[in-house]
Chain A
Amino acid sequence: MKTNVFSRYETGAFFDEMFDRGDDRLIRPHYQKILERISALNPLEYEEKRSQAVSSFLEHGVTFTVYGDSEGAERIFPFDLIPRVIPGNEWSVIERGLKQRILALNLFLNDIYHQGRILQEGVIPREIVETCPYFRKEIIGFHVPKDIYIHVCGSDLIRDEKGTYMVLEDNGRCPSGVSYVLENRDIMKRAFPRTYQSMGVRSVEAYPELLLKTLEYLSPRQSQKPVCVLLTPGVYNSAYFEHTFLARQMGIEIVEGRDLIAIDGFVYMRTTQGLVQVDVIYRRLDDDFIDPSFFRKDSVLGVPGLMDSYLKGNVALANGVGTGLADDKVTYAYVPDMIRFYLGQDPILQSVPTYLCWRDEDRKFVLENLANLVVKPANESGGYGMLIGSESTKAECNEFKKRINENPREYIAQPIISLSRHPTFCNDELAGRHIDLRPFILYGSDLEVVPGGLTRVALKKDSLVVNSSQGGGSKDTWVLKS
C-alpha cells in the first residue's frame, strides 16, 4: 500500500474532486495534505482506523432504518475515511447562494399563504400551487411565528462534469443527516488529528447550539426561558437516532405524540412533576401526522389540538406547517424565478434544468427522450420511485410513460448529470465514486449555514443515487478557512 494507493486510481470521464483531469492528474492544492497522509498509511493502519470508525458508530448507535427491507431494519451508515475538502472561496459562494435561496423560499411561502402576488403577476401558475399535495389551504392568512416557515433547510448540491455546483433539491420539511455530520467529524478528528489541525478546517460543532437558538427565537413567551421539545414519530422512524442525538446535544426533551397534550389552546408535556407548558416544538414528522383532529384522522403519532394551539399563536412549530410546497419538484423549477421576483437578483447557485411533464411541450420532449433523462416523482424523497432512463429496461420505461400520461403533474424529468466523483475506499482499493452534498441552513434571528454538511457517496460502482436508503454512504466534509 505504501507504493501509493493512488497510483492505480482513475478519474474517468468525470469531474474528480481530488485530481484535475488530464494525463498527469494534477492534485488540487487543497487536497495536498490529506493525500500525503492517506498515501502514508499502511494497510494495517488503515484497517485499524476503519475498524475504529465502525465500532465508534456502533457504540454511539449511529444507525438508520431502511424501509421495505426484510433483513434487520437498522443499519450502520457506511462511512468513508477520505474527507471531502472544499476550499474557502468555493464555500463562500455556496453559502451566499444558499442564503439567497432559503430567503426566497420563505418569501414565497409567505406570499402563497397570504396575498399571492407571485401568482397574480403570473410568474408561477396558480394551478401548480393548488395541486401540490403539501399545499395547506388551512393556514392561509395565518401569520407563522416571526414570519419564518423554513427554519431548518437541507438543500442537496451536486457538481456537474465541469465542477459547477448546482442545487438538486430543497428539503424544507424535516431534513435529516446533520447528526452524521457531527459524528463523522468526531471520528475524523480522532483518525487524522494532526492533518485535521494543520489544514485549517472550519468547525461544525456549533450546530446543536445554533439550532437551539433558532428554536428559542420562535418562542411566543419571551419573558422566560422557552421550553423547546423535539417531537419524534418514534423508534421505528429512519432518523430516530438523529432525533435522540439532537435532543441530547441541545439538552431538550425528546417526546412522542402521546407525551404531549393540548388543553384550551396550549400544549403541555407530561412529566413526572406534572404538566409543563411547551413553547416550541421541533417536530420531525410531516404535517399530515401532527394533529389527527386537523389533518390525517388515522394518525396516532400526533397530538390532537396541536394545530389549534399553533393557530392561536401559543406554540411554535419548526419547521412551520405547509413548507412541503417548497419541496415539490415542480415548485423547484420555479425557484430561480422566485429569486428574481422577490429579491430582484439573479440566482447565485444554478439549478438543474427541469422538464415539467405538466407542460404539454415538456411532456412531449420527455416521452421522446426518456432514455437520456432521469424521471422523478414530484413529491417523493429519499430516492424512491425514480427512473434513470439510460439504465432502465424497455418495460420499466413503458411503465413510466404510462404513469406520466396518467398523472403528468406528478412527474418531472431532468438530464442525467454525471455527478462529480471522489476517491473512496472500496474493497481495500481506491476508486472514484459519485458524491453530492447536503449543507444545513438555519433561519432564526438571522441566517446561518454550517460550514460543510453531509457528503453522501454512492458506494455501488457507477451508481448515481447517493441516498442512504438506496445504499449510499457518507464522508466528512472539510471546509477550509482559506
Chain B
Amino acid sequence: MRLYVYHRTVYTYPDPVSNSFNELRLHPLSYDWQKCESSLISVLPSTCLREYLDLNGNLVQYFEIPTEHQKLTIEARSVVNTVSRVDFNQFPYGTPMSTLADIEKRVNCRNYLQGSAYVELNPDAWKQAIDLGGNSGDVFQTAYQIMEFIYSNYEYCISTTSVDTSSSTVIRDQKGVCQDFAHAALTFCRCLGIPARYVSGYFYDHTKDQSMRGAEASHAWIEVLINGHGWYGLDPTNNRVVDDTYIILGTGRDYRDVAPITGTYFGRLPSSMDVDVSVKKLEE
C-alpha cells in the first residue's frame, strides 16, 4: 500500500521563548515490510536540521532555535510503501512458551523484557498477566489474548491520562489512549517473558465508517518477538494484528524512547499545541 502522511504540530507560547532544542522522531524507517519513499521534515522558524541514528535504530532529526519566538511549527510529509507481513489465515502459532527461556538469554532482547520508564513490572501486574495467559502454551496466542483483553475491557478516553501516565496507573484504572494501552500490553507481555517493544507511528483507517480509534493523531502499538518468525505488531487500541495499513516511525522500550517530538526551551508553557495528522492512500 502506498501511503502519504502529513503530520503538523504547532506550539504557541504566551510569551516569547528562546534557546529551544528539540529532537524529532518523525522520519519513517525502511524495513523489510516498509519502504520510506520520501520524507520532508520542516521547522519554522527556519533553522538548520541535522540527523543521527539513535541506539534503537531510529532516525532522529534535531535542531535548535536560539532566538526568541512565540510559535514553533513542525511539519512532516512522508510517502511510505508498505507490505503486509502477516498472513491472516496463517498466524505464527506454534512457538511454545517454553522456548522463551532461551530468548531470555539473548542480549538484544534484554531491554524488551525488563521494566522501563513507563512500564512497571510489579506483583499485581504479574498476577494479572498469569491469569491472562491462562493455559495457553503458545507465545503468539498469549500475546493475542493480552491484546484482546485490553481492547475489550479498557475504556478508550482522551484526556483522562497524560503523557506521564505509567503502566501501573493504566492497569489500575483500565482507561486511557493508545499510548497507555500499549504500555499496559508491554507490561503483561514482559511479565510473562515475551520480549515486547513500543512502536510509534500512524495507520490508515481503511474501514468504511472510519471506526478505528486513534486515527488523525500519532498512534502507538506494540511488537512482540516470536522466536523464528521475528517481530509481530499488535494494536490493543483497535484489536488488530498490524498489517500494511500501519506505518512505523520508530521502536523502543516505551514512549520515552520514541516520542515524536521532545525538547527543552526557556520560557513559559505553551498556551496551545495543535496536532494535525492525516494519512491518505495514494495510487500505486
Contact = CB atoms under 8 A, between A and B. Distances in A.
B283 interface: yes
B45 A115 contact: yes
B44 A107 contact: yes
Interface stretch (A96-104, A227-235, A356-364): A96-104
Contact of A446 (B49, B77, B79): B77
Q: How large is the interface on B (under 10, 10 to 19, 20 to 34, 35 or more residues)?
A: 20 to 34
A342 interface: yes
B283 A117 contact: no
Contacts of A348: 38
B48 interface: yes
A238 to B, nearest CB: 34
Contact of A115 (B43, B51, B67, B79): B67
Contacts of A274: none
Contacts of B46: 107-108, 110-111, 114-115, 117-118, 342
Contact of A117 (B37, B41, B42, B47): B47
A384 B24 CA distance: 46
A76 interface: no
Interface in A114-161: 114-115, 117-118, 121, 147
Interface string A441-471: 0000011000000000000000000000000
A190 interface: no
B238 interface: no
B61 A103 contact: no
Contacts of A111: 45-46
B77 A344 contact: no
Interface in B23-75: 37-38, 40-51, 61, 67, 73
A95 to B, nearest CB: 9
A42 to B, nearest CB: 37
Interface in A340-374: 341-345, 348
Contacts of A343: 40-42, 49
A37 interface: no
Contacts of A118: 46, 48
A60 interface: no
Contacts of A345: 40
A270 interface: no
Contacts of A100: 38, 40
A481 interface: yes
B151 interface: no
B11 to A, nearest CB: 14
Contacts of B231: none
A96 B38 contact: yes
A94 B50 CA distance: 24
A480 to B, nearest CB: 11
Nearest to A446: B6
Nearest to B278: A446
A107 B42 contact: yes
A108 B44 CA distance: 10
Nearest to A107: B46
A115 B71 CA distance: 13
Contacts of B44: 107, 110, 147
Given A344-B51, A447-B77, A103 B42 contact: yes
A481 to B, nearest CB: 7
Given A117-B48, A344-B51, A481 B40 contact: no
B50 A344 contact: yes
Given A99-B77, A100-B40, A103-B40, A344 B67 contact: no
Contacts of B41: 343-344
A99 B49 contact: no
B30 to A, nearest CB: 15
A123 to B, nearest CB: 8
A214 to B, nearest CB: 15
A343 B284 CA distance: 26
Contact of B61 (A92, A108, A344, A481): A344
Contacts of A110: 44-46
Contacts of B79: 96
Nearest to B51: A344
A419 to B, nearest CB: 27
Contacts of B51: 344
A248 B38 CA distance: 36
Contacts of B73: 147
Nearest to B61: A344
A121 B48 contact: yes
Contacts of A121: 48
B45 A114 contact: yes
A127 B41 CA distance: 29
A344 B62 CA distance: 10
Nearest to A114: B45
Interface string A42-68: 000000000000000000000000000
Nearest to B47: A117
B174 to A, nearest CB: 38
A344 B41 CA distance: 8
Chain B CB within 10 Å, residue with most, of A103, A111, A114, A344? A344
A103 B6 CA distance: 14
A92 B4 CA distance: 13
B12 to A, nearest CB: 13
Interface in A402-429: none
Contacts of A342: 42-43, 46-49
A342 B65 CA distance: 12
A481 B283 contact: yes
B229 to A, nearest CB: 33
Nearest to A106: B42
Nearest to B276: A445
A344 B45 contact: no
Contacts of B283: 481
Nearest to A113: B46
B142 to A, nearest CB: 42
25 contacts: A92-B37, A96-B38, A96-B79, A100-B38, A107-B46, A110-B46, A115-B45, A117-B45, A117-B46, A121-B48, A147-B44, A147-B73, A341-B48, A341-B49, A342-B43, A342-B48, A343-B40, A343-B41, A343-B49, A344-B51, A348-B38, A446-B6, A446-B77, A447-B77, A481-B283
Given A108-B46, A342-B47, A446-B77, 13 more contacts: A92-B37, A99-B40, A99-B77, A103-B42, A110-B44, A114-B45, A118-B48, A147-B73, A341-B48, A342-B42, A342-B48, A343-B40, A447-B77
Q: Which 3 A-B pairs have the closest CB atoms?
A: A111-B46, A344-B49, A107-B46
Interface of B: 6, 37-38, 40-51, 61, 67, 73, 77, 79, 283-284
